[in-house]
Amino acid sequence: MVKTLFYKTTVKFYHISYQFLRCCNDKYWYKSCFVPKKQKILMLRKFCNEVICFLGLFVLLPKLRIMGLLLE
């Protein structure tokens, strides 16, 4: 269960970060020009939330392992 949660969050994180970076990248400036500012802000928010969740897993996983070892 924990591995599945970690995998899903990782995939989601990479997908959203790719979208966000692609939107902000100079290479795609012509596409970026057509993305409304509101949508860019929403993408940034989503990206930040995913970063927080992704980093939170590294705190949560060791705690779950310690708790699992204590329960056994």
Q: Note the pLDDT tens digit of each residue in 10-48.
A: 666 666 666 666 655 555 545 555 667 777 777 778 777
The two structure tokens encoding residue 17: 């970060």
Rounded CA separation 61/43 (Å): 27
The full set of domain ranges for the chain reads: 2-71
Say how many residues make up the chain.
72
Task: Look up residue 62 and give its two tokens.
Answer: 């060791």
What is the chain's Cα-based Rg?
A: 17
Q: What is the pLDDT of residue 24?
A: 56
What's the pLDDT band for 49 if we cut at 50, 70, 90?
confident
The pTM assigned to this predicted structure is 0.42
